[in-house]
Structure 1
Amino acid sequence: MSQDALVKRQFGHRARLALAPAQVLKVDDQAHAARTLWNLLHAWWRMMPKDKRSLANADAAIRQAREGVDFLAVLPAQAAQAVLRTYFQAWKNCWEGRTDAPNFKGRFHVAMSVDIPQGRDLNITRVHRRWGMVNIPKVGRVRFRWTKNLPVGKHAGAENRITGARLIKDALGWHIAFRVQALEVKPTPHQGPEVGIDVGVSVPLALSDGETYEHGDWLTDKEKAELLSLEQRAARRRRHRRSGERTSRRLRRTHVRIAGLRAKAKRRALDWQHKTTTHIARTYGTLVVEALAITSMVKSAKGTVEEPGKNVAQKSGLNRSIHAEAWGRTVTMLTYKTARLGGTLHKVPAPGTSQRCSACGSTTPGSRESQAVFVCKNPDCGWSGNADHNAARNVLYFYRMGLALIPAAGRAVVRRAKRVKPATAR
């Protein structure tokens, strides 16, 4: 097979680790050492003159700190170098306007993580169908949940290999995220149909062909009752805490249990999103979505003292529902999955998709009678149907009329696409 028919793909794969209690303590110590090293680097950066802030000087400062501070020695040297590179990359991202300036990392408000930059240090082997083994520097051999075939053993090579990993801790424990590089066959153009997609709160995904994708609650009734009880318990304990007093162990344990239930709900939501977006990307060749300004949509309605907002509680509840559906993450998944399967994803302007009648094309005030029902007020039309289905049809119509948005290079600005001959209306 020629090299032109192959494409290099880089992706990540996250797996759950099965650590022994002693190994958990070792990985925790490494994560705290990495966080402390970041803070020392930030203090060094603020203290040094601008002409002395170089990678070589920072590397020398790290080596000196590791020799003088005993507990920093638990962090492998390669992981310490990864902290240094990440810190300098954070400043580069800040200078290019992509992120804010890096700052100190607090003990309880930052995700704990340790980087393993060299893939050859992992020495991955598969034990049986459900579990594999990986080597973690200064920790030892650890089991991890095997849920995806990785390029190890006879499947590994110069182009198919694991280039590194990162240990990440969340409310459900420690996980390992592998960085995988693979050489795959370039996908052929997807021959599936075109479809418009409307995202919403009551109906998470509505398609222009009438298909809908919905889900239930992410927690069972028993889990929701437990979460409510824990939140009430935490509120009572916070109410009896004096100002400036440290958080008690009982309150911290309550917070850990709350975080565990919320992490379980998020994991179930991610599982639904992955399965749903994979099915859509395999079924359709061209996907069209709205270019939503989600950050502006979830702004608070609280207002100011001089001009207080209205319906603040209702708007707050809507904002929580929008955050829970994670529309941006859904579009991100669809983007890379359609590209991998040979399809394309386009964005169209959001204004007008919910108010326009997809049958006659008129925009009449009052047609959107409720969140779920659309009834065209045009006396010559009178079409009625599901509001989300109507919006999805409008999204596809805007694309066929040549109104797809093209992002400008390096900016979030969009331009009008070249107008094409409209397809026959369905």
Structure 2
Amino acid sequence: MELLQAFQFELMPTGEQTRKMRQFAGACRFVYNKALAVQRENHEDGGKFIGKFAMKKLFTGWRNSAETPWLADSPRHPCDESILDLDRAFQNFFVKRADFPRFKRKGERDSFRYPDQKQIKLDRENGRISLPKLGYLRYRNSRVVLGEVRSATVSLRAGKWYVSILTKREVAQPVPQGPAVGIDVGVARFATLSDGSFIAPLASFRKHEQRLAKYQRRMARKVKGSSNWKKAKARVQRIHARIANARNDFLHKASNTISKNHAMVAVEDLQVRNMSKSAKGSAEAPGRNVRAKSGLNKSILDQGWGEFRRQLEYKVAWRGGYFVAVDPKNTSRTCSCCGHVSADNRKTQALFACVSCGHEDNADHVGALNILAAGHAVIAYGGMAQSGRSTKQEPAEGARAPVGILAKFRAGRMPNDE
């Protein structure tokens, strides 16, 4: 089995290397924006979409132009990768997976990528990596890099430079370990498992919210673009980075523990973007309970449900297990004992009391049990292949099991038996 894995480290560059990395990131940003501008002008003139190979030929002209001689000082391959990134953004737009590509701004996700493994030299013992036109850069060698180096991405975040080293290696076909589990995510409890255990939320944004607001007010009082404004902005960026790092560490630990100990993981197919939409409305049709909905949206986004699902998906695949996404409809309103579905079953946010059989339990635990049962039903429908072959696995079309069939499934009657 072929395994692709990225290892990220903080770089410790010299002053000259830092200057060059900023220059290279700026060159890649310029190429991306220039190509996007060409595509827009070409579209307005009625021309056809310019493919990536034709765009690379245009880039050769920009690189040799007397107007942009500094482009020749930057490595060629990272600039080519910017053109490929733009082409990928347009392809996602054409199939309606993303919005129309936007211009990049300085200081936002500055990065560049070296795709040629022959140009990358990794000195694992001494914690150094050699990149074209940068030479050897030291990095904080916090873990062993396994496998053959495929590419390297250099990025800037909150004033610090990082390198992400993508590797490939062959591993034995993993054997899934442990029982199946259903997971219900929430705000009061980050994740409730069908075995009765739960993971308390970290709420990293809430912990730093007041401190972040304090320094945002200080930045707002500065003259935009001044030296003091830049210092205040750097402080705000560091707080945001600390919040993101804490959340990411929490999600990795939680997803790693679950994927190690369970052979099948079933989660709800939640549309987080729709769940966290603003309730403000418009002047003609103003929304209701806007303040309460705003607080709920902040709590939802602070949990990182989408990233948690993404990490679970590929980590379960790495360990040869099954990952199933089920329809979230009525998972917290269906009795896990008798299968009765009613909104009255959910007495409060935390208490579930079935109006039919009288069964009482924690509402999130009941939801996790229903999610697990729906996951088994999805597999019974033949909508899921064993993971490990791909990190992106979705149930086959029409394979999302409705909660209404769960009572039959619990009774031992398979859908194909009828």
Structure 1 residues 395-423: Cα deviation after superposition (integer angstroms, max 9, x where no partner): 1233345588959x999995146889735
Q: How does 1:41-190 map to 2 (within 5 A)?
A: 41-48=35-42, 50=47, 53-55=50-52, 57-67=54-64, 68=66, 69-108=68-107, 110-127=108-125, 132-151=127-146, 160-188=147-175, 190=176
CA contact (8 A) 1:400 1:423 kept: no
Going from structure 1 to structure 2, the CA distance change for 1:295 and 1:149 (only over 3 Å counts) comes to same
What is the aligned counterpart of 2:15 among 18, 21, 32?
A: 21
CA contact (8 A) 1:373 1:384 kept: yes
Looking at structure 2, the residues matched to 299 and 220 of structure 1 have their Cα atoms a distance apart, in angstroms, of: 19
Looking at structure 2, the residues matched to 115 and 21 of structure 1 have their Cα atoms a distance apart, in angstroms, of: 20
What is the aligned counterpart of 1:317 among 268, 277, 295?
A: 295
CA contact (8 A) 1:168 1:175 kept: yes
What is the aligned counterpart of 2:309 among 331, 345, 370?
A: 331
Deviation at 1:262, TM superposition (A): 1.4
Going from structure 1 to structure 2, the CA distance change for 1:385 and 1:100 (only over 3 Å counts) comes to same
Looking at structure 1, the residues matched to 203 and 366 of structure 2 have their Cα atoms a distance apart, in angstroms, of: 25
Q: SS of the residue aligned with 2:109?
A: coil
The normalised TM-score by structure 1 is 0.83
CA contact (8 A) 1:402 1:422 kept: no
What is the aligned counterpart of 1:30 among 24, 28, 31?
A: 24
Structure 1 residues 296-345: Cα deviation after superposition (integer angstroms, max 9, x where no partner): 21111112222211110110111111111111111111111111112101
- Aligned residue number for residue 5 of structure 2: 11
Compare 409-418 and 98-107 and name the one that shifted more.
409-418
Deviation at 1:74, TM superposition (A): 2.8
Looking at structure 1, the residues matched to 111 and 190 of structure 2 have their Cα atoms a distance apart, in angstroms, of: 32
Deviation at 1:361, TM superposition (A): 2.6
Structure 1 residues 158-202: Cα deviation after superposition (integer angstroms, max 9, x where no partner): xx41111111111151111112111111123x2421111100111
- Aligned residue number for residue 230 of structure 1: 215
What is the aligned counterpart of 1:206 among 168, 192, 208?
A: 192
Q: How does 1:374-393 map to 2 (within 5 A)?
A: 374-378=352-356, 380-381=357-358, 383-393=359-369
CA contact (8 A) 2:148 2:169 kept: yes
Deviation at 1:146, TM superposition (A): 2.3
Looking at structure 2, the residues matched to 173 and 134 of structure 1 have their Cα atoms a distance apart, in angstroms, of: 17
- Aligned residue number for residue 197 of structure 1: 183
1:287 aligned onto 2:272: no
Going from structure 1 to structure 2, the CA distance change for 1:193 and 1:231 (only over 3 Å counts) comes to same
Deviation at 1:359, TM superposition (A): 3.1
Looking at structure 2, the residues matched to 106 and 283 of structure 1 have their Cα atoms a distance apart, in angstroms, of: 43
Deviation at 1:282, TM superposition (A): 1.2
CA contact (8 A) 2:8 2:163 kept: yes
The normalised TM-score by structure 2 is 0.85
CA contact (8 A) 1:9 1:184 kept: yes
CA contact (8 A) 2:324 2:394 kept: no
Deviation at 1:276, TM superposition (A): 1.1
Counting aligned pairs with the same residue, the percent is 27
Q: SS of the residue aligned with 1:11?
A: strand
Report the residue type matching 2:398 in the other structure: R
Deviation at 1:14, TM superposition (A): 1.6
Report the residue type matching 2:112 in the other structure: V
Structure 1 unaligned spans of 5+: 1-6, 152-159
- Aligned residue number for residue 387 of structure 2: none
Going from structure 1 to structure 2, the CA distance change for 1:372 and 1:74 (only over 3 Å counts) comes to farther
- Aligned residue number for residue 297 of structure 1: 275
What is the aligned counterpart of 2:286 among 290, 304, 308?
A: 308
Looking at structure 2, the residues matched to 413 and 191 of structure 1 have their Cα atoms a distance apart, in angstroms, of: 24
Looking at structure 1, the residues matched to 257 and 187 of structure 2 have their Cα atoms a distance apart, in angstroms, of: 20
CA contact (8 A) 2:11 2:139 kept: yes
CA contact (8 A) 1:206 1:392 kept: yes
Deviation at 1:281, TM superposition (A): 0.8
Deviation at 1:37, TM superposition (A): 1.6
Looking at structure 2, the residues matched to 291 and 54 of structure 1 have their Cα atoms a distance apart, in angstroms, of: 35
1:266 aligned onto 2:248: no
Aligned length: 395
- Aligned residue number for residue 415 of structure 1: 398
Looking at structure 2, the residues matched to 290 and 185 of structure 1 have their Cα atoms a distance apart, in angstroms, of: 30
CA contact (8 A) 2:184 2:367 kept: yes
CA RMSD between the two structures: 3.0
Deviation at 1:384, TM superposition (A): 2.6
Looking at structure 1, the residues matched to 124 and 25 of structure 2 have their Cα atoms a distance apart, in angstroms, of: 26
